[in-house]
A and B are shown apart, each in its own frame.
Chain A
Amino acid sequence: MKYFLYWGCSLEASGANFLVSLKPSCEALGMEFLEIEDWNCCGASVSYAGAGDLAIKVANARNLAIAEAEGGYDVVAPCSSCYIQMIKVNHEIKEDPDLLEQVNVCLAEGGLKYRGNLNVRHIQDVLYNDIGVDKIKERVIKPLSGLKVAGYVGCQSVRPYGEYDSVNKPVVQDRLLEALGAEAVPFPNKIKCCGSGLFVPEMDYCMELVKNILEDALNHGAKLISTVCPMCAMNLEIYQNRINDHYGTHFDVPIVYLTQLMAIAFGMDMKKHAALNYNLIPPEGVIHAAIG
């Protein structure tokens, strides 16, 4: 199956382990990815400080217009911020023909036009609904049996539309983890926000949000936390030292992408495909302890 993969800026930098592991693990399931030619950044969740609402919509509609003209395959966005920005403009355009017209007046400045025919999908949506847990189970060579994982959903990957999962009690990530043989531990902070793009400028306030998430996952027995968002991963992983200094805690929890776990369970290379060497807190120890 063909998809446009809109990986966004983070997956080329701080979220590189997501992209490196996503491609081989999803391709092993028969997915084929195309790049949106000359794509631009989605603006993420913080751009409103500098831009009006329409400009942010137009930036996203440009990517959609190019993808539509290049074949119209579903657009898959692994980054939650990219996903939410694109699906939001897509939704609003479909509901409001005046908005579509306004957006097109702007796109016409660059000779583009969007007809509103595309679907924007989250990577979890595609894995769960297009590929399915049965096919994933078939591909597993090294089941992650005994590995206790807290599947952290965060907020923007299921909210606000609940396209493919419940906004209040999401289950898709846990079902995918279970398909890999892992044990998905329940924890109430699963859908609590980590601070998002506000983490860096408002670190003093947001550290507490991350502390609560880490604590909750550990208290429920998790040995590592999986995510599907480069910003969740950054916020949960790279400031653990700082949080320890501030709260006197002792966090040292590996944060991995769901796709890294897929690559491992599919028997792929721990570095080349699962990209574990990109992680700042090495996950190899807990993974080997569980699956040998």
Chain B
Amino acid sequence: MENKMGYNASFAEEVFRNVDSGDEIKMCMNCGVCAASCPLREHMDYPPRQIFSLIRAGKREEVLGSQSIMLCTSCYTCVVKCPRSIPVMDVMHGLAHYALKKGYTPRIEAARFGKEFWNQVYRRGRVDERDLAQRAYFAGGFWEGVKKILEFADVGIKLVLHRRMKLIPEKKIKGISTLRKMLDKAEMLDKGRSVQ
């Protein structure tokens, strides 16, 4: 399956074809600058550089099941530093999105939080921070939710007292139905659509 560029054609091709910004890694020269940039690199099983080599080596399970692809803080350090101008962050986000769509669950809490965030944009056009926190807490089940609510009650109460939490639920934007049509269309046209 190896082609002349040293890629395992099947998985590398899958990434190029289906993952947002996936084809950008073709230019990677494996220098490791991006890996040194990551704020949470110590907690990553495979830093970005290694993720890209694993893609070339055809290690599908390792890549899509890795913790690292969900541990990107979106700090753009790698994007600024990569000598080949590869938008490393976009590739990481693309891989995370693809892995979640394929049923992998790396870093479940971060995944739930991000999914619920987008749900709010889609349902209402705006994010309601209080509602977002509650839904993210309860996504793991009722008791886990109760535990989290109690654990973070101090923060919530302080924010309310300092007028930094909305008590009235956020309303939908007026154009919500057309916003959804636009977003639905975008998902239809997006790169990984064939594997929805």
Q: Residues on A close to B: CB < 8 A?
A: 9-10, 12-17, 38-41, 43-55, 57-59, 62, 84, 102, 105-107, 109-112, 155-156, 159-160, 162, 167-168, 192-193, 195-198, 200-202, 205-206, 209, 238-239, 241, 277-280
A49 touches B113 (CB 8 A): yes
Asked if residues A200 and B114 are in contact (CB atoms below 8 Å), the reply is: no
Question: What bracket does the count of chain B residues touching chain A fall in?
Answer: 35 or more
- Is B138 located at the chain interface by the 8 A CB criterion? no
- Decide: B126 and A110 in contact? CB cutoff 8 A: no
* Chain B contact residues: helix, strand, loop or mixed: helix
B149 in contact (CB, < 8 A): no
Q: What number of residue pairs across chains A and B have CB atoms under 8 A from each other?
A: 217
Q: Which residue of A lies closest to B185 (CB)?
A: A106
Residues of chain A within 8 A of B128, CB atoms compared: 9, 13
A51 to B94, CA, bound (A): 10
Across the interface, do B192 and A52 meet the contact criterion of CB distance under 8 Å?
Answer: yes
| Interface, chain B (partner A; CB < 8 A) | 20-21, 39-40, 43, 70-77, 79-80, 90, 93-94, 96-97, 100, 107, 109-122, 125-130, 133, 136, 154-155, 158-159, 162-166, 170, 173-175, 178-179, 181-187, 189-193
Chain B residues contacting A195 (CB-CB under 8 Å) are 39-40, 73
Q: Which of the listed residues A48, A51, A198 has the most CB atoms from chain B within 10 Å of its own CB? A: A48
Across the A-B interface, give the 3 residue pairs with the lowest CB-CB distance, nearest first.
Answer: A49-B114, A50-B118, A110-B178
CB distance from B9 to the nearest CB of A (A): 24
**Cβ–Cβ < 8 Å partners of B39 in chain A:** 192-193, 195, 209
In the complex, chain B residues whose CB is within 8 Å of the CB of A193: 39, 73, 75, 77
**CB <8 Å contact, B178 and A41:** no
Q: A50-B114, A197-B113, A238-B158 are in contact. List 17 more A-B contacts (CB 8 A).
A: A10-B129, A41-B125, A43-B121, A46-B114, A46-B118, A48-B114, A51-B121, A54-B189, A57-B186, A160-B80, A197-B73, A198-B72, A198-B110, A201-B114, A202-B110, A205-B43, A206-B73
A97 → chain B closest CB, angstroms: 16
Residues of B contacting A12 in the complex (Cβ-Cβ under 8 angstroms): 166
Answer whether A155 and B75 are a contact pair too, CB < 8 Å, given A13-B165, A201-B107, A277-B162: yes
Q: Which residue of A lies closest to B161 (CB)?
A: A280
